[in-house]
Every structure is written in C-alpha cells, then in structure tokens.
Amino acid sequence: MTPVVHRSPLPAPRSPSPTACTLRRDNRAVGGFFEEIPAFVVVVLSVSLFMVAAGTTIGIMGDDGELSGLQDRSARLCRAFLSCEAVLERGALSQEPLAGRLDAGKLDRLNDTALRGELNSPHPYNLTVRDLSSGREWTFGRPVPDGAPLKASAASAAVVELDDGRRDPARVEVVVWR
C-alpha cells in the first residue's frame, strides 16, 4: 500500500465516522510493499536455486539408478548366454554342458528366434561372440541404435571350441538398451 500524503492541510472532519481514515503528514508511516521487493526477489531467487539444484540431483540419481539396473541386466544376460545349453560344448565323459565353453558349430547353427526364447530378455539386446585369435564373430539380436537414451554393456571372457578341437580365447559382449 502506498501511503497517501496530502501537502495541503485537510479540512477537519465535521463528524468522525468509524470508517473514516485520518491521514497526517509525519515520519511515522509504516514501510509498504515496495520496500520489501528487493528482499522478496532475493528469497524467490534462493528458493528457485534450491529447487533447480534438488531437481537436477534427483534426475541424475534417478538416471544412475536406471543405468545401474540396466547394467545388471546386461551382466545377467551375458551369464545366461554362457550357461545356455544351446551353444555349449559338452563334456567328453559326463556329456554335461560346460559353462563358458562355446561350441563354434552350435554358434553357426543358432538363430535369433531360438536365442530369444532361451534368454527371455524383456529388453532389446545385441550379443556378439568374438574369437580373439582368429577374429571371427557371431552376432545375435538387434543392431545397436545410435540414439538410445540408456545403454549398458557387459563383457565376459569365454572359450570357443573349433571344429578341429582347438580352443580359442573369446569374448562375449552384450549391449542392452531402453
């Protein structure tokens, strides 16, 4: 409220009523709204700053949590592939599938549909088995999109048994995205 000050002396009221307002010229006026504006601006700025900082932090932490979850899923998918009977070599005596030992012949015959059924992943994935000695590659799943907002990968060492019985070092890489 802006105080209204009349410079000319006001005529004395004839009969003072309870609703009438008496205005005088003196130094006892109360500070009004405009005096509080700088303080108000500073307070609004402070609160806005804190809200933006808190929002940013929550957003970053949320993204990190989501990425960590996706990372775990890619690692689980990698483990699942390395113990998937459809691609594993069998023991000479026990005929049990040997985890981590991939059979090159089975990898050649494996198709995406069969692997999707074995892995049962809720997310799209790209899985690559690379023979580190010969450079030969087997790729399954979808191609990795360039603009995926969240992408996580996991890799594991493995062994590929070739048709001649030789075992080469290999790496299994899984990329999962959302």
Partner 1 sequence: MLRRRRRGLSALFDAVLFFTIILAATGALFWWASAARAGATADIATRDLGRAAADIQSAALECTVGPVDYSLGGRSLLFTGTVCECLALIVRCRSAGPDSGTAGLEGAVRRIYALLVEEPLRFEVRASAEGLVQDIVISDEGAGPGGPGEVRWTCSVPLVVNGLEGELALHLWR
Smallest distance, partner 1 to C-beta of residue 167, A: 5
Q: Which is nearer to partner 1, 97 or 100 (CB)?
A: 100
Told to check if 109 binds partner 1 by CB under 8 A, we report no
Site for partner 1 in 148-177 (CB under 8 A): 155-159, 166-171
Q: Which is nearer to partner 1, 44 or 116 (CB)?
A: 44
Q: Which is nearer to partner 1, 10 or 49 (CB)?
A: 49
Residue 103: name the closest of 155, 159, 141 by CA. Answer: 159
Options 9, 18, 38, 117; binder of partner 1; rule CB under 8 A: 38
Options 42, 85, 96, 105; binder of partner 1; rule CB under 8 A: 42
Distance, C-alpha 99 to centroid of its chain: 32
Smallest distance, partner 1 to C-beta of residue 125, A: 18
